[in-house]
């Protein structure tokens, strides 16, 4: 009894400072709605006309747990301990910079804030539809798709194109007509939107809700910087996506319908980024009144692929691709051993979260991963500059051992 009581006192005394400095979140055993509910329309328009001054926050998985680590629930800057000053003139209200190969989130701002994506949503469109649509298949574009509002590739209603050509229109010049034509080819707009939402959930993107294949605003069509990083990583794994996104020029063929239309030249809108930034891999931009400027891109530095997502950004004083490049250079210069601020979900993580929700509670594997994520969130085991967790445990074991020995001697003396 003496040894047990003393051990408990010692354990509390050693661990209490760390527990107070690093708050923990109680595990949830109940299902959580993903994606969360979005704001309701405030007028009769088809979409918001201005940015939401209070964008909602996501960040919870179907099991109710923080996605990517508890620190990522912050609405502010999330930086590693001792990080140098950020580059000047970053304009995005939400952003992440990620090591896509390791899955490490190196820094962020409001990573789970839910914003309109504009045309960077076309990255998800491509990830969802590429497996469904062979490149050499020929399709006839409807007049409805060809007349879609916003940016156009120049598809002609009644014209015949290969899927390859339509994807080039989607990614080179952000053609909304291309997005709608691809949706029709995949079975229709409703089926494509459903597929995109399912793809987002499969990838662990629980902040995203899709209403249009093009990224044109909907009242409830929202995503997060975290989710867009997941889509970027998935897109880089698709060779066709990389090929479509990085070609300098393409041409849509002439069409004989409606009196005839000549060929249309397509020039890559991200050519400056792709040709002037060393190691540039892919990029996609977007703009709507509600979303403002958005950007997603990847750069290879030192054998690592870094991804950057910018939401609700501006193009002045630096263009988005310049801001993204500065963030990658900043991340690349972090000291060796710098702990990430969070992690991108892996396919195993998302599958396990769904299984845990169905089972009504976390498995041992999930609990282990959460403990590892808690280590990332608290700086790798140290309680805000306190004694590292490993050292704490060694001290506890030594003191408990001594307490047991002391108690045994007391028993023998009685």
Phi, psi (5° rounding) for residue 209? -135, 130
Query: Closest by alpha carbon to 232, among 116, 331, 96, 54?
Result: 96
Query: Of the listed 28, 74, 122, 284, which one is catalytic?
Result: 122
**Is the bond into 35 cis (omega within 30 degrees of 0)?**
yes
Catalytic residue chosen out of the listed positions 3, 47, 74, 174: 174
The answer to whether the CB of 339 falls within 8 A of the CB of 377 is: no
Active-site residue identified among 28, 47, 74, 119: 119
Between CA 123 and CA 110 the distance in angstroms is 21
d(C-alpha 88, C-alpha 275), whole Å: 23
Active-site annotation holds for 119: yes
Catalytic residues: 119, 122, 174
């Amino acid at each position: 009894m003496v040894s047990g009581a003393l051990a408990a006192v010692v354990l509390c005394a050693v661990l209490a400072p760390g527990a107070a400095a690093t708050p923990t979140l109680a595990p949830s055993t109940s299902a959580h709605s993903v994606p969360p509910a979005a704001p309701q329309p405030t007028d009769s328009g088809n979409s918001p006309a201005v940015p939401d001054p209070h964008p909602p926050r996501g960040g919870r998985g179907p099991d109710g747990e923080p996605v990517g680590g508890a620190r990522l629930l912050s609405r502010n800057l999330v930086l590693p301990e001792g990080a140098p000053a950020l580059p000047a003139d970053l304009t995005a209200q939400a952003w992440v910079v990620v090591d896509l190969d390791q899955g490490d989130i190196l820094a962020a701002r409001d990573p789970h804030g839910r914003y309109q994506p504009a045309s960077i949503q076309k990255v998800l469109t491509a990830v969802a539809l590429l497996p469904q649509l062979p490149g050499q298949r020929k399709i006839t574009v409807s007049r409805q798709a060809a007349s879609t509002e916003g940016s156009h590739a120049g598809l002609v209603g009644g014209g015949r194109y290969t899927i390859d050509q339509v994807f080039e229109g989607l990614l080179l010049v952000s053609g909304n007509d291309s997005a709608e034509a691809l949706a029709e080819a995949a079975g229709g707009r409703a089926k494509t939107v459903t597929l995109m939402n399912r793809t987002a959930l499969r990838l662990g993107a629980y902040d995203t809700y899709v209403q249009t294949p093009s990224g044109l605003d909907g009242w409830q069509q929202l995503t997060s910087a975290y989710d867009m990083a997941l889509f970027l990583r998935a897109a880089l794994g698709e060779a066709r996506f990389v090929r479509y996104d990085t070609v300098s020029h393409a041409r849509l063929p002439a069409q004989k319908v409606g009196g005839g239309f000549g060929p249309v030249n397509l020039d890559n809108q991200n050519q400056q980024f792709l040709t002037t930034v060393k190691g540039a891999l892919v990029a996609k931009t977007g703009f709507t009144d509600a979303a403002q400027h958005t950007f997603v891109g990847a750069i290879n530095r030192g054998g690592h692929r870094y991804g950057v997502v910018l939401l609700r950004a501006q193009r002045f004083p630096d263009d988005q691709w310049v801001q993204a490049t500065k963030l990658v250079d900043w991340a690349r210069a972090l000291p060796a051993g710098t702990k990430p601020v969070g992690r991108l979900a892996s396919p195993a993580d998302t599958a396990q979260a769904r299984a845990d929700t169905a089972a009504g509670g976390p498995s041992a594997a999930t609990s282990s991963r959460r403990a590892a994520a808690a280590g990332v969130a608290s700086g790798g085991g140290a309680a805000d500059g306190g004694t590292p967790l490993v050292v704490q445990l060694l001290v506890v074991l030594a003191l408990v051992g001594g307490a047991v020995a002391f108690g045994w001697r007391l028993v023998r003396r009685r």
